[in-house]
Amino acid sequence: MSHDEESNGVDVDDAAPGDPGSDEQGTFAGVRNYLIGLTLAALFTVASFWVASGTALIYAPGVAMALAALAIGQMGVHLAFFLHITTGQDNINNSLALAFGVLIVGIVIAGSLWIMYHLNINMMPHDMLDMHRQP
């Protein structure tokens, strides 16, 4: 294998910004990559507030989709620039830990919504409950 294909056992094509073993090494390169990530994260945050404030450039029903797209972009910046998660062999454990965390958060959110819904139904006064159950 040539030096272009692999550097220190890490696939150069699958290296996140700031990963050790990528072509860019040194403290300056690491700080520069974190500053790029910080700038991108700040831009996504400002753009989200701008979209949510009711800009005329985005069709009103499309605001939720624009915010979702900006949120996904923000997550991508955090995963690549700060958590250094890629699809390389070294990052399988990190990816599995992230997937497990997302699963746990999803279960907690779904369980909380289920509990709140059933508490709302069970805490209704009896006359309101009878009205709610009748067609």
Residues 16 and 62 in one domain: yes
* One domain, residues 29 and 80: yes
Which of the four pLDDT bands, split at 50, 70 and 90, describes residue 13?
low
Question: Please, how many CA atoms are within 13 Å of residue 61, restricted to the half-sphere of its CB?
Answer: 0
Express each pLDDT in 92-133 by its tens digit: 887 888 889 899 999 999 999 999 888 877 776 666 656 666
Using CA atoms, how far apart are residues 99 and 81, in angstroms rounded to an integer? 18
According to the model, what pLDDT value does residue 1 have?
45
The pLDDT of residue 3 is above 50: no
Helix (H, G, I), strand (E, B) or coil at 66: helix
Q: HSE-up of 117 (CA within 13 Å, CB side)? A: 6
Whether the predicted pLDDT of 46 surpasses 70: yes
My answer on whether 22 and 79 are in the same domain is: yes
* pTM beyond 0.75: no
Q: Do 68 and 8 share a structural domain?
A: yes
What total of structural domains would you count in the chain? 2
What mean pLDDT, rounded, does the chain reach?
A: 79
* Alpha helix ranges (H) inside the chain: 27-52, 63-77, 92-122, 126-133
Provide the pLDDT for residue 19. Answer: 58
**70 shares its domain with 103:** no
Identify which of 3-7, 27-31, 117-121 has the greatest average pLDDT: 27-31
Domain identity same for 71 and 37: yes
Q: Which of 71, 86, 101 is the last residue of a domain?
A: 86
Judge if 103 and 135 occupy the same domain. yes
**37 and 67 part of one domain:** yes
**pLDDT score of 83:** 83
**pLDDT over 60 (residue 9):** no
What's the pLDDT at 95? 80
Q: Looking at the structure, tell me whether residues 96 and 135 fall in a common domain.
A: yes
Q: Are residues 127 and 61 in the same domain?
A: no
Q: What integer pLDDT is reported at residue 113 of this predicted model? A: 92
- 91 and 68 in a common domain: no
pLDDT of residue 127: 65
Domain that holds residue 80: 1-86
Pair (30, 42) in one structural domain: yes
